[in-house]
Amino acid sequence: MGCGTSTMELDDRYYEQKRINDAIEKSLKSHQKVEKSQLKMILLGAGESGKSTVLKQLRLLHKDGFQYQERLQYAQIIWVDAVQSMKLLMIHARRLHIPLKCDESDSPFSQAKKLILRYRCLDVGTIGDENFLKDYVMKYSDGGESRRKKMGTGQADALWDRNLEQSERLLGDSTETELENQELEELKESRPTGDFAARKQQRQQLANAIQLLWAHDPGIQQCYNRAHEFQLEASTRYYFENIQKFADPDYICSDTDILKGRIKTTGITETDFNIGSTRLKVLDAGGQRSERRKWIHCFEDITAVVFVLAVSEFNQTLFEDERVNRVHEAILLFESLCNSRWFVDTPFILFLNKIDLLEEKLQQTNFKEYFPDYTGDVHNVDSVVTYLERTFLSVNRTNKPVYVHRTCATDTQSMEFVLNATTDILLQNHLKKSGLI
């Protein structure tokens, strides 16, 4: 009895909820349809293999390239990396017992050494965010990323000061064990000034110091030639040879600069491309061991896996574990991924990257020392790359195809051909799965 008085109100509410539910269902089905029609490629490989550089090339070829703010940030990052790289060369020269001219108290290079050591790498030029670079540099120190999250600004500054003291003790004059207190306080207080003209002058002096040591201190060059014995940015030579332009706080990076620069990838990044009538989603995953546990979250509905190997790193060790050879690690990683249940029917595309750096390195390094079962010419690039290709293909225990491309990820012209061929492979495989061919 009495129910009739509320029927209209209930019906209105019911139909409104049903309308909303139907709209959500329609949106979800539409999204699923788009997802199914979209090619999905994931870039995998060990750390510093060149995955992010491949993604940069895709952006240059099939998107709008890089925005003004990104170019500014890359300029600051390269500047930091250049200064840090010179510091590393001085530190490891001492560790490797390589004499440096700048360590001699009466050397004209000693002042250049002091300028580099006292620079705190927090001069962010025009991007206006000190924490941007501080966070970036901390990521590259041991445990730096997690440590930075746990500490406040004051603690972070204290850590910088402790690191500065340690560097100075390592690099002090050969007759000294520690700096004098007055000089140490001067180093701690040498923060970049807020005055633009003074900051620009400071960076110019520092660039001149780096250029001087790189060109005229033979110990620096000798240490650089042994860079495979420690962790050094692959583009260090490029940074030093172009240090004058990176010293300008207002410098805007070119495409080549960005391809040479490196920002460590953390987590998974997703980038969408429209290549002709094809929609392509590219996932770029950080390659360090600590990042790999995140990979499994994006393994579903992958059209193809691009595995990137830096062939030039055959004599280098991992950033996160200096007991492990980088290529040996990559072989084990490729084997586990290629034979994983997640990728039973998923084609793999193997990029044998950094061919240009391999060619340089083989002139000075015996490949057989690191791969004793290699029987070819130790100086022949083609022979070495063929050996590595066969080694990787031999661990594929499935029937799926593995397509191989030899690449130099920083060379836009060659990468355009490789990436177009890769897109064709993805499209062909997608059409086969859809039953259209």
Residue 105's pLDDT is: 82
pLDDT higher at 340 or 146: 340
**Residue 87 among known ligand-binding residues:** no
**Residue 355 among known ligand-binding residues:** yes
Q: Are strands 278-285 and 268-275 parallel, antiparallel or unpaired?
A: antiparallel
**Residue 113 among known ligand-binding residues:** no
Domain covering 40-65+265-433 assigned CATH 2.10.60.10 in the classification:
no
Q: Are the C-beta atoms of 272 and 40 separated by less than 8 Å?
A: no
**Residue 265 among known ligand-binding residues:** yes
Output the six-digit token pair for 333.
């990683």
**Residue 49 among known ligand-binding residues:** yes
pTM equals 0.77
**Residue 163 among known ligand-binding residues:** no
**Residue 256 among known ligand-binding residues:** no
**Residue 259 among known ligand-binding residues:** yes
**Residue 285 among known ligand-binding residues:** yes
Secondary structure letter of residue 317 according to DSSP: B
Region 344-363: what's the mean pLDDT?
A: 93
Q: Are the C-beta atoms of 261 and 293 separated by less than 8 Å?
A: no
Q: Kindly report, residue by residue over 24-65, the tens digit of the pLDDT.
A: 666 555 544 445 568 899 999 998 899 999 999 999 988 888
Q: CA 434, CA 3: separation in Å to the nearest integer?
A: 53
Residue 416's pLDDT is: 87
Q: What share of the chain is helix, strand, coil (3-state, %, to 5)?
A: 55, 10, 35
Strand order in the sheet with 348-353: 268-275, 278-285, 39-44, 304-310, 348-353, 402-406
pLDDT at 418 over 80: yes
CATH class of 68-252: mainly alpha
Which segment of 135-144, 296-305, 404-413 scores lowest on mean pLDDT? 135-144
**Residue 288 among known ligand-binding residues:** yes
Q: Pick the closest to residue 262 from 229, 299, 235 (CA basis).
A: 235
Mean pLDDT of all residues belonging to the chain = 80
Q: What is the pLDDT confidence band of residue 155, given thresholds at 50, 70 and 90? A: very low
Q: Is 231 exposed, middle or buried (0-12, 13-18, 19+ CB in 10 A)?
A: middle
Kindly give, in sequence order, each residue whose CB lies less than 8 Å from that of residue 219, ignoring residues fewer than 6 positions away: 93, 98, 99, 100, 101, 102, 103
Q: Pick the closest to residue 218 from 108, 309, 323, 100 (CA basis).
A: 100
Which segment of 13-17, 208-212, 353-357, 404-408 scores lowest on mean pLDDT? 13-17
Give the position of tokens 């293999």.
Answer: 49
**Residue 423 among known ligand-binding residues:** no
Domain regions of the chain by residue span: 40-65+265-433, 68-252
**Residue 48 among known ligand-binding residues:** yes
pLDDT at 150 over 70: no
Q: CA 293, CA 415: separation in Å to the nearest integer?
A: 29
**Residue 141 among known ligand-binding residues:** no
Q: What is the pLDDT confidence band of residue 385, given thresholds at 50, 70 and 90? A: very high
Residues above pLDDT 90, as percent of the chain: 46
**Residue 98 among known ligand-binding residues:** no
Q: Look at residue 325 and give its three-state secondary structure.
A: strand
Q: What is the largest CA-CA distance in the chain?
A: 107
Q: Kindly report, residue by residue over 56-90, the tens digit of the pLDDT.
A: 999 998 888 899 999 998 999 999 999 999 999 99
**Residue 269 among known ligand-binding residues:** no
Q: What is the pLDDT confidence band of residue 129, given thresholds at 50, 70 and 90? A: very low
Q: CA 319, CA 286: separation in Å to the nearest integer?
A: 13
**Residue 147 among known ligand-binding residues:** no
**Residue 354 among known ligand-binding residues:** yes
Q: Are strands 278-285 and 39-44 parallel, antiparallel or unpaired?
A: parallel
pLDDT at 8 over 60: no
Region 204-210: what's the mean pLDDT?
A: 95
pLDDT higher at 26 or 19: 19
**Residue 52 among known ligand-binding residues:** yes
CA distances from 271 to 92, 245, 419 (A): 38, 30, 15
- Length of the chain (residues): 437
**Residue 394 among known ligand-binding residues:** no
**Residue 425 among known ligand-binding residues:** no
Q: What is the pLDDT confidence band of residue 186, given thresholds at 50, 70 and 90? A: very low
Q: CA 335, CA 352: separation in Å to the nearest integer?
A: 15
CA angle 228, 172, 320 (to 5 degrees): 30
**Residue 263 among known ligand-binding residues:** yes
**Residue 262 among known ligand-binding residues:** yes
Kindly give, in sequence order, each residue whose CB lies less than 8 Å from that of residue 265, ignoring residues fewer than 6 positions away: 51, 52, 284, 285, 286, 287, 291
Residues above pLDDT 70, as percent of the chain: 74
Q: CA 191, CA 176: separation in Å to the nearest integer?
A: 25
DSSP codes joined into one string, 22-85:
HHHHHHHHHHHHHHHHSEEEEEE-STTSSHHHHHHHHHHHHS----HHHHHHHHHHHHHHHHHH
The torsion angle over the Cα atoms of residues 184, 185, 188 and 193, rounded to 10 degrees, is: -130
Q: Pick the closest to residue 232 from 124, 392, 95 (CA basis).
A: 95
